[in-house]
């Protein structure tokens, strides 16, 4: 348990997003959420993944877009994630 806490406190978000153990854990949670039909968990995983993808694409330090289009892509990506979340959480009924 101590190793897990040390790993989480010393890791950065970019490192966590690419760590195989974390990706495997997210995959397991996603499969369980699909099987148990946990819509909120799936939407949370989508939101976190979408925000990380937008950050990765717009951050030049991570090999992303250029300076001119950086803010536009960031705002557009976050708005797309927000619109999808609003649709599935508030508009679409079960």
How buried is residue 58: exposed, middle or buried, by Cβ count under 10 Å (0-12/13-18/19+)?
A: buried
Parse the chain into domains and list their residue ranges. Answer: 2-91
d(CA 93, CA 33): 18
> pLDDT tens across 12-63, in order?
777 777 778 888 888 899 899 888 988 889 888 888 888 877 777 766 665 5
Rounded to 10 degrees, what is the CA torsion of 74, 18, 83, 36?
-170
């Amino acid at each position: 348990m101590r190793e897990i806490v040390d790993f989480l406190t010393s890791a950065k978000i970019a490192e966590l997003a690419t760590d195989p153990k974390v990706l495997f854990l997210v995959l397991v949670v996603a499969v369980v959420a699909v099987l148990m039909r946990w819509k909120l968990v799936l939407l949370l995983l989508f939101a976190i993944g979408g925000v990380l993808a937008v950050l990765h694409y717009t951050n030049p330090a991570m090999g992303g877009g250029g300076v001119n289009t950086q803010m536009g892509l960031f705002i557009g990506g976050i708005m797309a994630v927000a619109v999808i979340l609003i649709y599935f959480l508030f508009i679409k009924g079960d």
